[in-house]
Structure 1
């Protein structure tokens, strides 16, 4: 870097944007995936799904976004106003105290998505999805949630637009994270441990295994079943599909402006992945730049060792193929890296990363070698979260700890090689409602 750039980087502690810099367009990476994105297929005919065949579960506005190949899609003013109310734009921080503790020549930055009222990046799409349902007259939304962050976000967004919300929460998380269900209920949502006795599929699952810990696939099946069988009701989801990835790109677009303000270009961009939404939102705008030859960054998706939908391809645990997004086989078939829709994950504490498949857009980028992936053990991620808490003063979500642990690994490698790098990661959520998990893992 030039001297002025070095000075800006040294001085950067917190980089902020004004409210009028909330992005006015979402970036749609479908327009730029080399070779295009494999279409979703009808589970019966195995033919590409027609727009009308999505309408049982989604409003027309979101279907248009899901199937769009336009590069940029307008963000409605009402959505931008709601995003401002939850604290967008979010700040970018320099992790200088973490750097000092590691003794690394790397410069580490993190985008703070933990500052929303519900504590994660999830409201970025929850608000958009609730809005497009609301303007089409839908009055009830159903959904699943793993760790509870998505359920909390959609409950809040539904309340904002005066809608009813029903959430099926994976049972292991329902038991591990009781305060998240209270958050949802405060916003007016009905919350059920999944598998539940509220749906036919839930009851069948419990008959086979009364002690079933649940999975996101099962919870999705229950939410879709309720949506299809209830009047004026649609289904919403917090990850995987194209329109969800699209809405999250406000994160990366803001980060682009913030890094430019301090004359920094990322060498590595890191985020955790379950279904892929925070990784997509954080990296896709930068991947667009890389595809145009404007940067040479590495993009690293970090998943748990016990749920290796991407990295499992090397050992034969996962495959890149068409699969259902849910356990009951009610969704369209999606081309993705998958552990199999009947995969039952271990009840790890990072409940938001316990999904059997990866978003089709993220999967396509991994298949083409445009992004990289790592799998980390649970104990390492909690140790990383503890170090981050003690140096940067923020308690991260167990999911976000995967990104932190990866950033620490790469920063330590920079120390070993005496190499300067700019490492940027997405702090996707806070862990203030995950303290029991920390106590369990760290022996407190």
Structure 2
């Protein structure tokens, strides 16, 4: 069997193993080891087993992962998510669908200090979902707005997924964070528009609440100072060149911890639970990174990236046609895989094709994360849908899936806009000189 065909077969086998519920890290690692033996020989594989696991997790840049996770965990314990939610609701609660709009805005804000979509969805489901149900919101809209809003945590900086992409492709973390800001805000705006259109067609889905006075709005806005301060400290410090992304993550983690302590939310149980959650989540990510490193050795041994570049060159297709095919591939893959696994599994052989076509790697990173974000709410395996269903067990998964349809359409529209107008993604990092 030619090595390139072996690479394609290995990729398909990995997908099959994942579909059979084998852990993603195990599936990638197993295929990487077994597939590399006939391609590279046992001595090379033995050397790879002794070096690749360490090489996968030792880069200095990966230290931001547990730090950003720690920041998100203790920011939730400090009550930052509730203050942000109530602050936005004070301004939009009087319109139809106002609570859902406030939920999406709060998800975007909390995602900016969390960096994880799953954590954002889980946190906001506990804050916003009970309130929307108490105000008479349809369960489909309430659950779907939390699930969709939670996806903003993967794009609005700081983002763990963007850090992983930067390490895989050796791009600047700061440039990717800057490039993600406008697309993230665009996504938030389109989600809010989807809620407005949905409640205009059917006002019973999200009844309007009471209008707040100017004084009440200012008071609610003032209580969001902690979120603004933490965001300005972390992201503003990076863009101003005061410290590196790793230093910013450490400062953000210390800030979130301090907020939790100063508000009396920190005790022995909370501290132990927060450290345990940080360790478990970080360990899961690092385990997947090790599996991906073993799989990438197999992909490189098969010469699959070079083979695909040659195939694309031989087809003589326009670059935009190839990009449309890649986006369709990711949309399909997103229905069955989680975001981190999808990126680690595909970037090693997709990235050379994209750069060969002349696309900007920072722009492609944002497009890729946008597609991955869409996969988080796409049935049947949209991870955010299961997170919401696990916190609201009386809401059927089918009802949540129906409710996310307008948000899926909003994401498709955002993807089309960002693809058609790359300047929306690249203007800010170029202006900042990143």
Using structure 2 for the length normalisation, give the TM-score: 0.26
Larger relative CO (CA 8 A, sep 6+): 1 or 2?
2
**Higher helix residue share:** 2
Please identify the structure whose Cα radius of gyration is greater: 2
Using structure 1 for the length normalisation, give the TM-score: 0.25
